[in-house]
Amino acid sequence: MPEIGDIAKGLAIGKNRNVAFVWVKCPTCVFTRWVEYFSFLRTNGQCRTCFGLTQRNRPRVSVRGDKNASWKGGRLLLKSGYIRVSVYPEDPYYLMSKKNKGCCNGTILEHRLIMARHLKRCLEPWEVVHHKNSNRSDNRIENLELLGSRQEHAPSILIQQEVNKLRLRVEELEKELLLLKSK
């Protein structure tokens, strides 16, 4: 165990950066840890929470959810087009967020949450919620359909893709027809 004030290079103590680290004890809460040397000079060795208390009279790490100044409603639009929403431990559907295999605990895909609330039960991990109009951010209950498995979902996707192709073809043909009628 290192002594308070010991200095070591980051790679020697298992850190990713090869800068100087100091073994310090927080003067407020007596928490010991390795801290980058320049960070230690700026915070006087205080841990993150205690330093936040001295700066703003509130803990830096514990301001979460709707009490955080950066709160945007608990909704996040993912690159895939789906919307992920926050749920709290008091929510009866919080258990669905725990079934994400450790990923994103406390959040659920919005379309699954809406379907679960509609059915008044938690969805099982193998159940699939399908968007009828293929718009992943359109989470109205009229646009959602519950399917029993991924095997049932695959034909729905193929049919929807075929319908979209045919719809585009019809639009093209209608444009051509208008051009022919105008001549």
State in words which class domain 75-170 has: alpha beta
Q: What is the pLDDT of residues 3-51, one digit of tens each?
A: 888 888 888 888 888 889 888 888 888 888 888 888 877 777 787 777 7
Predicted confidence (pLDDT) per residue in 128-141, tens digit: 898 888 888 899 99
SS3 (DSSP) at 177: helix
pLDDT level of residue 63 (50, 70, 90 thresholds): low
Residues 6 or more apart whose Cβ sits within 8 Å of residue 89:
106
Residue 183 to residue 179: CA distance in whole angstroms: 7
**Taking 60 as the threshold, does the pLDDT of residue 102 lie above it?**
no
The domain ranges of the chain are 7-56, 75-170
